[in-house]
Amino acid sequence: MSENRFNPMQTAFEQAIAARARGEVPIGAVIVDGKTGQVLAAAGNQIHGQNDPTAHAEIVALRLAGQRLGSPRLVNCDLYVTLEPCPMCAQAIAFARIRRLYFAAFDVKGGGVDHGPQIFRQPTCHHQPEVIGGVREREAAELLKAFFKERR
């Protein structure tokens, strides 16, 4: 298995670090065309910068990729994110028809994929992406831990 498929996660980490520099919680997301490998969108959290309670990295990236493709359905696209998506983002990922979801750290307190409502397992969820969790898990968890420690 090539390491190349995890290069988008590196870009997601760079977005997370850029978000931290803006005073946002350090989370980054990248959307890739799964057929060509082309990066369609890369974003970090923008909640405070945009005064937008919905501006998690994943939502911002889904919005950008939809505009770029000219469709709200991101067929054959994969999403990489440094933290397990929350229920809002997980449901948005299902609506966008994301093919594969790669995430780094697990989120016991706020996650919505492996934790909480486990959105993709709900009977009201009509699309289930393939999910690969724990990619560079420790690194992502440490990035978040350091951020919240500084904040206290």
- Torsion angle, CA of 9/15/16/21, rounded to 10 degrees? 160
Closest approach, Cβ 145 to a second copy, in A, equals: 19
Q: Which of 14, 24, 58, 150 is catalytic?
A: 58
Closest distance to a second copy from the beta carbon of 10 (Å): 25
Name residue 42's beta-bridge partners: 30
- The smaller minimum CB distance to a second copy, of residues 55 and 140, is found at 55
Whether 58 is a known active-site residue: answer yes
Distance of CA 73 to the CA centre of its chain: 16
Residues that bind a second copy (CB under 8 A): 47-48, 50-55, 59, 62-63, 66-67, 69-74, 86-92, 95-97, 109-112, 115-119, 122-125
Residue (7 or 118) nearer to a second copy, CB = 118
Sheet strands (E) in 9-124: 28-33, 39-44, 77-83, 100-105
DSSP-derived secondary structure letter, 127:
-
